[in-house]
Amino acid sequence: MENIVEIRESPERFSPQHTFSSGQTFRFYPEGNTWTGVAMGALVRIREENGQIVLKMQGGSRTREDWRAYFDLDRDYTVLFPDADPILQRALAAAPGLRVLRQEPFETLISFIISANNNIPRIRGIIRALCREAGTPFTADGETWHAFPSPEQLGAVPEKRLRELGCGYRAPYIAATAQLAVGTDFSSAGRRETADLLSRLQAFPGVGPKVARCAALFGFGCLDAFPADVWIIRALRELYGFEGSPAQADAFSRRKFGPYAGIAQQYLYYCMRSRNHSFAAAGGV
């Protein structure tokens, strides 16, 4: 019997548009008024219905609690930044319902290795190709879908084949990281201090400071991890007068945004990239 979980939320608490368009996950696609994707081995469909956001998960073995954790639905985002400056306040208001997902560690690690010096449409295409190539297939809604490959499955794909699938020069990094990840206990890694986790993640080939912070934030629940790409550095410089390097962004973000700096980063990133009009009109960018 198929495992189905259905969750209803208000648009103020969860926005698939803001969440899936903020560059933290690459497996969700909009079609009409429905967002469709695969996560944790299940088909996920999200649509608005009578003023409510309806999340329907089909397949896999995850519970309602697992999915609430995945979408971070039980966290009150309105109390995370009690001392928010006016700029952050505008960013938070510009993307209501944006939530930082708690994705699967190995998927985030590989996804953001692929993201290096790459653009989002192509990242999505490569990840989709990897899933079709090596991910476990399952059937839902009368169609065949593919889970993200396990370390064993991805590690078995020849480097030459990874290049054919579009991975380019990242192919050896992906192959080596997948093979190293076999036997790695990511669940215990997630309970470490962020700095300790980052150094361990950066031991994987193709994982530097930025990719490690993305994996820590999106895959391990380290909400203080602060990925600093060119957009965020630009935002800190233009909006806050920050003059430092990406390596100095950690201390700055912790001082400026506190223990949830990673979530603040995601709102700032979304607003910068989406050229949100209300944000720009308010003097944000």
Partner DNA sequence: TACCAGGAGATCC
Partner DNA sequence: GGATCTCATGGT
Q: Which of residues 92-151 bind DNA (CB under 7 A)?
A: 112, 115-123, 125
Whole-angstrom distance, CA of residue 84 vs CA of residue 88: 6
Whole-angstrom distance, CA of residue 9 vs CA of residue 65: 14
Whole-angstrom distance, CA of residue 148 vs CA of residue 41: 7
Name the residue nearer to DNA (CB basis): 7 or 260.
260
Catalytic residue among 56, 160, 210, 256: 210
Q: Is 245 in the site for DNA (CB under 7 A)?
A: yes
Q: Is 16 in the site for DNA (CB under 7 A)?
A: no
Closest CA to 76 of 14, 16, 130: 14
Name the residue nearer to DNA (CB basis): 115 or 194.
115
> Is the Cβ–Cβ distance between 173 and 181 less than 8 Å?
no
Q: Is 168 in the site for DNA (CB under 7 A)?
A: yes
Question: In the complex, what is the shortest distance from the CB of residue 198 to DNA, in angstroms, rounded to a whole number?
Answer: 10
Q: Which of residues 263-282 bind DNA (CB under 7 A)?
A: 265-266, 269, 273
Whole-angstrom distance, CA of residue 53 vs CA of residue 47: 6
From the list 59, 149, 151, 166, which residue makes contact with DNA (rule: CB under 7 A)? 166
Whole-angstrom distance, CA of residue 282 vs CA of residue 284: 6
Backbone dihedral angles phi then psi of residue 282, each to the nearest 5 degrees: -85, 5
Whole-angstrom distance, CA of residue 190 vs CA of residue 48: 33
From the list 70, 145, 173, 186, which residue makes contact with DNA (rule: CB under 7 A)? 173
Question: In the complex, what is the shortest distance from the CB of residue 49 to DNA, in angstroms, rounded to a whole number?
Answer: 28
From the list 13, 163, 192, 200, which residue makes contact with DNA (rule: CB under 7 A)? 163
Name the residue nearer to DNA (CB basis): 23 or 60.
23
Q: Is 160 a catalytic residue?
A: no
Name the residue nearer to DNA (CB basis): 42 or 268.
268
> CB within 8 A of 16, min separation 6: which ones?
28, 35, 46, 53
Q: Which of residues 184-223 bind DNA (CB under 7 A)?
A: 202, 205-212, 214
CB atoms inside a 10 Å sphere around CB 266: 28
Whole-angstrom distance, CA of residue 94 vs CA of residue 147: 33
- So which residues are the catalytic ones? 210
Q: Which residues bind DNA (CB under 7 A)?
A: 22-24, 112, 115-123, 125, 163, 166, 168-169, 173, 202, 205-212, 214, 227-232, 245, 247, 265-266, 269, 273
